[in-house]
Structure 1
Amino acid sequence: MSAPRFLVDELPSGETSRLAGPEGRHAADVQRLRPGEQLSLADGRGGVATATVITAERGALELRVDGRWQEPPADPRLVVVQGIGKGDRSELAVQAMTEVGVDEIVPWAAARSVTRWQGDRGEKAWRRWGSTAREAAKQSRRAWLPVLSDPANTAAVAARLATAAVALVLHEEATDRLSGVPLPATGEVVVVVGPEGGVAPAELSVFAEAGAHQVRLGGSVLRTSTAGVAALSVLQARLHRW
């Protein structure tokens, strides 16, 4: 099993470092890392360091820094516009999409979204998406945290699609398959995933005017919590990252 990863604001610049705060408590008190064990640190912006535990105390570790490197950002970038779902389905989608390598998630207040992000409730829901993505990035040993954009309405999504290298809308009635769509060598691949009720006809028209193409994954209709994950898996394989 690979060494556990912990997220830090800045990578250590010296030969030794102290891991404290929430990450230090998790490493020392929950995972119970001990002297001689290895771990890795990431700043969420591509920077990674490997380290060995020198001493462990309650809530903190003293580390010897063994190496550092910078991982380049993904290109093309994979962006998913995720229709806001009800209950925990949206958070399940965020978790799984982060694990399979999404570069940016755009919460979309679609016409058929049952849940509405308004006021404090909306702010809390957005923050939960961010926390979910952060924990999933740690678990999957990512060097880059996915960007979580501000919630977008349909007009804002259309504007984003218009600037993408490739813009795709998942729809069960589409005739083209995601596996056959030409992909760019650089830029953004933006995929729209509807909420539980799917993408409304008026939204499909707006997105088509912005240059988006409708595609399907296969013969079955997937939930909003799994469609984005399936699409990302296809794209990762086609881009030879998997």
Structure 2
Amino acid sequence: MSLPVHLVESLDGASPGTLVEVTGDEAHHAVAVRRLREGEQVVLTDGRGTSATGSVASTGKRVFSVTVESVAQEPRPEPAITVVQALPKGERGELAVEVLTEVGVDRIVPWAASRSVAVWKGERATKSHAKWQATAREAAKQSRRSWLPTVTPLASTADLAALVAEADLALVLHENATLPLGALVVPEAGRVVLVVGPEGGISPDELTVLADAGAHVVRLGAEVLRTSTAGVVAVAAVLARTSRWA
């Protein structure tokens, strides 16, 4: 059985025999909801590649401490995968973030595409972004990731053009594309950017902007996938051709 994973602000100075204290909401959920007990084995991670395994030494109302038994440092995965996710309607945004995090995406960029049904503005934008961040955090713990993915603020199409221009490989999923994703060589290092459009599809103007910035417009297959699942399928197809999944 896999050990439960908890996120901490820092593991600086952690070494076998040292004590690490976990506080706040993370500790409250572990103690009050999961019923964490003294002596239980857990894994702590800072979300930046460092993890520590140890046993719970003590628990409190919103705190618990762990006696460290071992510390591991995992290098940042290469190539780094960024997924630009057009805003879906309803709860499909959180679903997309959850599965993208589980599959190993390094950065998720919410995109206000012209045909997106959902709109992030004002207080709703703040709450929705926070919900995506929380979803990524919990999915990272569930999938036992040492590196926590970043969820950036809402991006415009102009922002995407700059992102695409800086990428080592940029792909835009489109059902009318003639170029199969499998025809392209995936780099073993650097950054791969994958753009997923909204339910209504990417507009011709947006497609032109992204292609002019250097993106390849590609298709996965004959089937048209939902925006909340297209990204994870495409990322799996990309990672299967890299040493990350070797």
TM-score (norm 2): 0.93
Select which of 52, 56, 70 maps to 1:53.
56
Matches within 5 A, 1:116-155: 116-155=119-158
- Change beyond 3 A, Cα 1:12–1:32: farther
2: CA distance, partners of 1:62 / 1:79: 35
Residue number among 227, 231, 236 corresponding to 1:233 in the alignment:
236
Aligned AA for 2:187? Answer: P
- Report the equivalent of 2:4: 4
- Pairing 1:44–2:54 present: no
Structure 2 residue ranges without an equivalent (≥5): none
Question: Where do 5+ consecutive residues of structure 1 fail to align?
Answer: none
Question: What do the CA deviations read for 1:172-202 (whole angstroms, capped 9, x no partner)?
Answer: 1112222231111221110000011011111
Instruction: Judge which range, 26-35 or 203-212, deviates more.
Output: 26-35
CA deviations 1:28-62 (Å, max 9, x no partner) are: 22222323321011111111111112234444333
Matches within 5 A, 1:161-172: 161-172=164-175
CA positional deviation for 1:145 = 1.0
Residues 165 and 12 of structure 1: CA distance in aligned 2, closer, same or farther (over 3 Å): closer
Where does residue 89 of structure 1 map in the other structure? 92
2:25 paired with 1:27 = no
Distance, in Å, in 1 between the alignment partners of 2:241 and 2:168 is 16
Q: Report the AA paired with residue 169 of structure 1.
A: V
In structure 2, what is the Cα distance between the partners aligned to 1:2 and 1:64?
18
Distance 1:13 1:28 in 2: 24
Between stretches 25-34 and 196-205, larger displacement belongs to 25-34
Hey, what's the Cα distance between the residues in 2 that align with 1:208 and 1:57?
55
Task: Give the aligned residue type for 1:217.
Answer: L
Figure out how many residues of one structure are paired with residues of the other and give that number: 242
